[in-house]
Structure 1
Amino acid sequence: MNIGEFARLGGITTRMLRHYDALGLLVPAHVDPHTARRSYELAQLPTLNRLLALKGLGFHLDEIGPLLSEGVDPAELHGMLRLREAELERQVRQQRHTLDRVKARLRLIEQETQMTVETKHLEPITLAALSADAPDASRQQTGAVVQALFEQVTDAMETAGADRTTPIARYQPSSDASTVQVIAGYALAGHEVPGLHDHLLPAAEVAAVVHHGPMSTISTAYQELAQWAESTERTPTTLTWREYYLEAAGDDQSNWIVEVQLEI
């Protein structure tokens, strides 16, 4: 078949086929000595598919030639794809975390005189996490529980060499409000982490404010959200909270940035 027909079957342009020919990655089955027109055989499609798959996985063209010459079977490509998928997911999580931090900084600038409440929709997210019950919803009780949980989660993830991005905590009262379930963890990075559980945080509409400073003063953010919910008549029956720790490294909490969210 001519180069145009082969390009259509491969889903690429004729210009790219000429480029691959020039690099020696996919040489036409025949080149007319008089017109220099290229012709390809249907049997060359698997080579083109592997070339495009390897390119999509992030390999440079100078790396693809040796791989094609050695032969790459579907099982090997599938394994490479899984590794590439995990790497892209890690990059997406890191970029999302960076974007969240930038947005939080902008909101801090906007609320220099007064906290600004933002409402938004959160997609479901799975955490590699641990959970425990606190005897009540006070900061004294839940704070001690969440700190202990994060220490255990961090140790488990470091032992497993697992990737960590945004730490997230969720506080959900029991049906009779006698206890509070505390979940603490990190967005799950592909595979399960030994010693930790997969916790699915459901999709939710939330009202959120950004708190800048030590956790000892975070009650101001909670108060702002509670007052906003009451004034807008959006106070839920059960107060379920989330904390997204956007900047929370080190023992000095003076520059910590935490987004406090109320599920509404």
Structure 2
Amino acid sequence: MFKIGDFSQLGQVSTRMLRHYDKLGLLKPSNTDKWTGYRYYTIDQLSRLHRIIALKDLGLSLEQISRLLDNGDDLPVAQLRGMLTIRRADLSQELQEKQAQLERVEARLTHLEHAGQPSPYEIVVKSLPSQAIASIREPVPSAPEMEYYCKVHHEQLYALMQQCGIRPLTPEITLYHNKEYTDVELDVETAVSILPKYINQAIDNDYLILRELPAVEQAACLIYEGPYPGMTAGVLALITYIGTHGFVAAGPLREIHLSGPTYIDGIRQDPAVLELQVPIVQLTNG
């Protein structure tokens, strides 16, 4: 038998963690001296300890590991597969959120690097014609989830158009309707251009919107080229231009996808070429 200190060295686990596993019933000592309270372990218990460590390294909680080991050292394969499938989905979501966060940081750094310098974007003010669109307008719970919901909304939009016999044109358009900054409950409309004749078509679907995107007398516009999350730098450039040239926004930000579909076979097409448009009016005193 091994004292707890010796067993911790064999298993490369602290004595504190061994006591914690004992408390949870994950790995109880083979024997505990009733007089001294010393814990003793056998070499046979080393394999169970290694299994606990391996499952913990996969990101499973101690509670999950405990359920898996309830029937001894024989792992129930179906249960383990289910837990690992859930864990894989969680890790994938975390990676997407971290990647989006990293790209926003990069965009902010780029913006700071150009602070006080001429904008890297050529911003023009022009009129915008009206455009017939088919769209769905659904909130995105939070900014880090934009990538996931953007993909889902595009898939839903094209599926609904196919059901209703409406042929999509180009370009795709995304509209951001929030009037104030927020990183939760983002009011996003996912759209694609269509022929005007479809606008008055009767459809048996309350989810699909057929409407005309109105013409605009003046809009501040720029061309952005790069990964989708990096377009934050372009949006900041537009906002700065509008504020420093005596304008105010008069409508939602329009994201025009000049380079083609956002997704092909479920894969986001980066880098993209986008035209960012913000309808504007002249700021009046009083």
- Please give the range of the TM-score, normalised by the shorter of the 2 chains: 0.3 to 0.5
In proportion to residue count, which structure has more helix?
1
TM-score by length of 1: 0.43
